[in-house]
Structure 1
Amino acid sequence: MIHEMKQAKNAAGLFAGWQETMVWSCLQGVMGRVYGDDGEEPVSAMALLGDFCFFAGKPHRELVLEAPGLEGRDFLIMTPRDQGWAKLIEDCHGTGVQRSVRYAIKKEPDVFDRDRLRAAVDSLPEGYELRAMDQGLFLRCLEIPWCRDWVALYGDYAQYRERGLGAVILKDGEPVSGASSYSGYLGGIEIEIDTRADYRRRGLAYICGAKLILDCLERGWYPSWDAQNLWSVALAEKLGYHFDHEYVVYEWNGQS
């Protein structure tokens, strides 16, 4: 039987050393949920936040096959702590999951060159407007599928204002690029960055990424970055981050 853990910190030992802020968000009770094979002293656990879940401890078939949060979804990124979990995910879901690779970026609080980031912000081309995420933009982004993830995990703007940050580039009053907090944890955010397809390759993501990093540093937060692809790695490195390692994930498509 799977239990939602009322005291998520009881599973902290199973996730110890995992440098993933979405796991931290769940364990801290800031965002997301933690499930385990036992509500008090689990030996198997899953942290679930947004489109991501993370498996740790002893591989547990029921947790993978009937993981809370799967019902009603058609997509989820499953991250195994070790090869045992990876094999179990493959066994349980078969062709319903696609094995993929993501790229972890080092967490180095003192690595950023603020002068270089300010210069990036100042390079905004004429005709564009760079704005901090406010309530109006928050509500507008919720309505736009391609940038909805910038704000979708926050229950309302009040929660976003407390736990999130964002920088949005507008063209003719509409968002065309932005960097925002996909999720938040105590002391920082996990960055979500994207540019509308018809405005890519113009350096806009670099500009709003630089702005968001500066705003985080001003607040005393760490702007964590995890890369989906090599383009994201390259952008992160341009902003001052350093690549750490590749890791395996499984993209679940709603079937098993």
Structure 2
Amino acid sequence: MQEVKKEQYSDVKALIHNKETCFPTFVYSVLEQTIPGVVYADDQSFLIGTSSGIYYVAGDERNRNFNEFIVELYKKRAESQKRFTLFSPNRSWDSVIKTVLQNELDQMMRYAFSQQISAIKAFQLPKGFTLKRINEDIILRSTEFQKAYYEAYWGSVSNFLKNGFGFAVLYDNHVVSECTSIFLGCNRAEMDIYTHEEYRGMGFAYFAGSKFINDCLENGVTPSWDCDASNKSSIHLSKKLGFEISTKYSIFFKKSG
């Protein structure tokens, strides 16, 4: 199995563009070298992963050598207690992953959404609340999207501030709600939203999400949304923001305990 050189990433991107499959945003983030990652490939299959341990596999699921490579990669990461999350493109791959890894991984179903409407008209924030673009100061104040979050998904805070974006609702300099780009690639920005428990149910996630979507559309970027199929609150918010379910897929992740 060969690790693809970074100067060949554009060739891999051109190759997957010719396929009908809708690839996760992080795949393009790696291929465009917006975030650190790795690509493995042979003449039948490929595996694209982030430095944080999120992978996407595609190609011929009957490729025994490649499947054995995935098993070895999983074992190495498990031994080092590193994250291993594998996105599957279809049910055939679901079956193969469960077979070759002998059910060592948990399976979870997720939805991918597509945005169906144009710009959103957001409501007025209550008195005392402000909206700001995420910067280093807001990251320091955040209770969820902290420095460790951006180091995991973007490689560093500085890389996020250079290539990513997001918005936060604040009250008295405390971060109340945030919508940030967890990944950005192929002119798509995948949204990640969090609201402090004390302020949930007040519409702040909708407000931050609206600002994020409008900023995307103003800059020719397509907002995207993925979530676990069991996350009812996320599904509800996504629909309020104009998203509709486009596909259902599996991810496999290392069991805890």
Query: Could you say which TM-score interval applies, normalised by the shorter chain?
Result: 0.7 to 0.9
Q: Secondary structure at the match of 2:102?
A: helix
Contact 1:5 1:36 in 2 (8 A): no
Residue 90 of structure 2 is aligned to residue 82 of structure 1: yes
Residue in structure 2 matched with residue 91 of structure 1 by the alignment: 99
CA distance in 2, matches of 1:2, 1:254: 30
The amino acid of 1:252's aligned partner reads K
Please report how far the alpha carbon of residue 241 of structure 1 lies from its aligned counterpart in structure 2 after TM superposition: 1.7
Paired residue for 1:176?
176
CA displacement, residues 185-242 of structure 1 (integer Å, 9 cap, x when unaligned)? 2423111111123332222111110111112222222221112233222211111122
| Contact 2:85–2:251, Cα closer than 8 Å, also in 1 | yes
Q: Partner amino acid for 1:92?
A: V
Q: 2: distance between equivalents of 1:63 and 1:232? A: 35
Show structure 1 runs of 5+ residues with no match. Answer: none
Distance, in Å, in 2 between the alignment partners of 1:249 and 1:206 is: 27
The one-letter code sitting in structure 2 at the alignment partner of 1:27 is L
Q: CA deviation at 1:30?
A: 2.4
Q: Deviations over 1:49-102 (max 9, x none)?
A: 345311011232233213378354454331112333222321233343111111
Q: Classify 1:126/1:183 alpha carbon distance in 2 versus 1 (closer, same or farther; 3 Å).
A: same
2:148 counterpart of 1:147: no
Question: How big is the shift at 1:182?
Answer: 0.3
The share of aligned pairs that are identical, in percent, is 25
1:8–1:34: 8 Å Cα contact kept in structure 2? no
Q: 1:76 and 1:234, CA in 2 relative to 1: closer, same or farther beyond 3 A?
A: farther
1:222 aligned to 2:219? no
- What SS is found at the alignment partner of 1:227? strand
Counterpart residue number, 1:161: 161
Name the structure 1 match of 2:198. Answer: 198
State the one-letter code of the partner of 1:102: R
- Aligned CA distance change for structure 1 residues 47 and 130 (closer, same or farther; 3 Å): same
Q: Distance in 2 between matches of 1:75 and 1:87?
A: 21
Question: 2:211 & 2:160 partners in 1: Cα distance?
Answer: 17
Task: Give CA-to-partner distance per residue, 1:130-180, whole Å, 9 cap, x none.
Answer: 211122113444xx4x32376332344443233211111223322221000
Of residues 51-60 and 71-80 in structure 1, the stretch that sits farther from structure 2 once superposed is 71-80
> Which of residues 31, 37, 40 is equivalent to 1:33?
37
Task: Return the alpha-carbon distance in structure 2 between the equivalents of residues 23 and 218 of structure 1.
Answer: 24
Report the Cα distance in structure 2 between the residues aligned to 1:210 and 1:150, rounded to whole angstroms.
22
- Counting only pairs closer than 5 Å after superposition, residues 1-256 of structure 1 correspond to structure 2 as 1-6=1-6, 7-12=8-13, 13=15, 16-19=19-22, 20-38=24-42, 42-49=43-50, 50=52, 52-59=54-61, 60-67=66-73, 70=77, 72-108=80-116, 111-112=117-118, 114=119, 117-120=120-123, 122=124, 124-141=125-142, 144=143, 146-148=144-146, 151-152=150-151, 153-228=153-228, 229-253=231-255
Q: Which amino acid aligns with 1:147?
A: F
Unpaired segments of 5 or more residues in structure 2? none
AA partner of residue 35 (structure 1): V
- 2 CA distance for matches of 1:154 and 1:64? 24
Q: Secondary structure at the match of 2:154?
A: coil
Give the residue type in structure 1 aligned to 2:48. Answer: A
Q: Is the 8 A contact 2:165 2:180 kept in 1?
A: yes
Residue identity in the other structure for 1:64: I
Letter in 2 for 1:230: K
Question: 3-state SS of the aligned residue for 2:95?
Answer: helix
Which whole-Å deviations, capped at 9, do the CAs of 1:15-65 have from their partners, x for residues lacking one?
A: 733322222222223224343244xxx422111134531101123223321
